[in-house]
Amino acid sequence: RYTDETFNRAWTSRQFHQPDGVDYLALVREFKLIERVNADQIDEVWLLGFPYCGYYESIMAGPGAFWCNAPPLHGTERAKKRFVIMGFNYERGVGEMLEDLGHRAESILAKVFADVRDEANLWERFTRYDKTHPGRAECGNVHFAPNSVKDYDWGNPRRVPSRCDNWYQFPDLSGEPRMVDCSEWGGGDIRAHHKWWFAHFPRFVGAADGISWNWWEYVIDPNRVVR
């Protein structure tokens, strides 16, 4: 644990404790997280901490936990269900919190579609961007907008064809592409891009091949993931 003095020294020198990760199982015990989950008092946990306090952006606990932008938290299997522990830095903004949620969504939806191949893998299709799929961009991912050429390149003015609008008409994805650029998603603003990206997630009634047409069901409740 840091004291005021030791953290100030670490902050000044930029030499923080190693290993850098917090003891999650100690937090689980201290705050009786499993007991609260089992009593239906909480469904997930949000931690807000100072810089370099050792949180993952997200980590999944409970029976059958899987990769959620971090390895599953072993030692929590006696919980009656899976739950996610989010780790936020209170020096950062809402955009960075949305980024944490975005990586959580990427991990969970990749798991949902893990056994689906080729064009039937709608998550793979959703995340296409022009750099990896020239002329076939759709919505991209958290780090890459449809026209990005590098990580966090949300302000790129380059125009590329994208089928991003088709996702508003889900499950009909047959529409033609149109030219898009960063003016669509905030011109480089992290919060605006992530809101734009999330707004394209399917959230409709129905299912196909055992997968819900409302992807938020999985992002918010990882217990819905059965694959």
The DSSP string of 2-54 is --HHHHHHHHHHT---SS-S--HHHHHHHTTHHHHHHTTS-S-EEEEE-TTS-
Q: What is the pLDDT of residue 1?
A: 79
d(CA 137, CA 73): 35
pLDDT at 136: 98
d(Cα 52, Cα 56) in Å, to the nearest integer?
10
The Cα-based distances of 96 to 48, 85, 115 in angstroms read 12, 16, 30
Segments in the chain below pLDDT 70: 227
Query: Given phi > 0 = left and psi -120 to 50 = alpha, else beta, which region is 53?
Result: alpha
pLDDT in tens, 61-93: 999 999 999 999 999 999 999 999 999 999 999
Q: Can you name the residues that pair with 178 across neighbouring β-strands?
A: 162
Distances (CA, A) of 68 to 1, 60, 63, 103, 148: 26, 6, 14, 8, 24
- Name the residue ranges covered by the structural domains of the chain: 4-91, 118-224
Write the pLDDT tens digit of every residue in 37-54. 999 999 999 999 999 899
